[in-house]
Amino acid sequence: MTIAPPPVHDVILDEDTLAQLFFDVGHAAELIGITLKQLGARQAAPALTPSLDEAYRALVDRTIGGVQLRYRFAGEEWCDTLFRAPAGVRLIRISHTAALAVDDQASRNDAARS
């Protein structure tokens, strides 16, 4: 049995849409965490705990390489990874709720085959 992975959304955002995303997360979602990726860093910097506004400003000002937002909205946990792209800001979005459901199903299938 093949299990389809959870959907991953990949889109380029313009500045207005980026601002709307941060507004929406700040006003309509439950923010779980923010992680910054410094320019040129291979890994994120977990020691930094910026506010949503600080993360937005750093991304817009290009003083960081990327931002990861984790939040709950409409009963699901989401992870948005944002980083600068030539045409704007690239957004990679995945539902952790859906990803965990896929992982649970795969584990049950493995157990059933054992």
CB 54, CB 13: distance < 8 Å: no
**23-to-18, 27, 33, 53 alpha-carbon distances in Å:** 9, 6, 15, 9
pLDDT value at position 112?
54
End-to-end CA distance of the chain: 14
pLDDT tens for 55-70 read 999 999 999 989 999 9
Q: What percent of the chain has pLDDT over 90?
A: 58
Sign of CA dihedral 12, 98, 76, 36: negative
pLDDT tens for 26-52 read 999 999 999 998 776 565 555 567 899
| Domain residue ranges in the chain | 8-113
pLDDT value at position 96?
84
- More confident position, 16 or 46: 16
The Cα–Cα gap between 69 and 25 comes to: 9
- Give Cβ neighbours of residue 74 (< 8 Å, ≥ 6 apart): none
